[in-house]
Amino acid sequence: MRNTARWAATLGLAATAVCGPLTGAALADQPTAPNSLYAPSALVLTVGHGESAALATPARAVTLTCAPTASGTHPAAAPACAELRSAGGDFDALATRDGVQCTKEYAPVVVTVDGVWQGRRVSYEHTFPNECVKSARSSSLFAF
């Protein structure tokens, strides 16, 4: 019996020496380093012709990453990120360009945005009556 207790104590010391303390407090104290100092902002934008994303085949698609720096396949990533930041990430609040006159032609264009903006999941869809109205809605975000 005495040998068993001594053997268990020796085994416990050996396990602690090899594996470290296995208590819950020791495991909880392990520091977790963040992957990045910036909240993720990575989006996929599409544009297609039709009345809704469910009915339209995307004609073009781009990626847009805004943190830590503007990048992606979007042709004007830095201005698009700046425009979205100034709107507070609200796609409906994007400014309409002044002085643009569009015809009343109805050829619907649908844009979608899916991804993460400053750490929060976003999914956006909007149908514009035609390409001119879409282009007037934002100067660079939907210009691809």
Q: Is residue 121 part of a domain?
A: yes
Is 1 a domain residue?
no
Domain that includes residue 130, residue range? 42-137
pLDDT of residue 38: 65
pLDDT of residue 18: 44
**Is residue 35 a part of any domain in this protein?**
no
What's the pLDDT at 120?
A: 93
Q: Which of 94, 82, 80, 85 has the alpha carbon at shortest distance from 136?
A: 94
How many whole angstroms separate alpha carbon 128 and alpha carbon 92?
12
Exposure string of 95-124, with b = 16+ CB inside 10 Å and e = fewer, is eeeeeeeeeeeeebbbbbbebbbeeeeeeb
Is 123 a residue whose pLDDT tops 90? yes
Report residue 99 as tokens.
């002085």
pLDDT of residue 36: 56
Tokens for 13, please give them.
Answer: 């010391």
**Residue 87, in any domain of the structure:** yes
Can you name the residues that pair with 42 across neighbouring β-strands? 65, 116
Region 2-24 average pLDDT = 45
Domain count, the chain: 1
Find where tokens 């104590």 sit: 9
d(C-alpha 68, C-alpha 72), whole Å: 12
Report yes or no on 37 lying in a domain. no
CATH number, residue 70 = 3.30.350.10
Give a yes or no: residue 83 inside a domain. yes
Q: How far is residue 40 from each of residues 77, 117, 120, 122, measured CA to CA in Å?
A: 15, 7, 8, 12
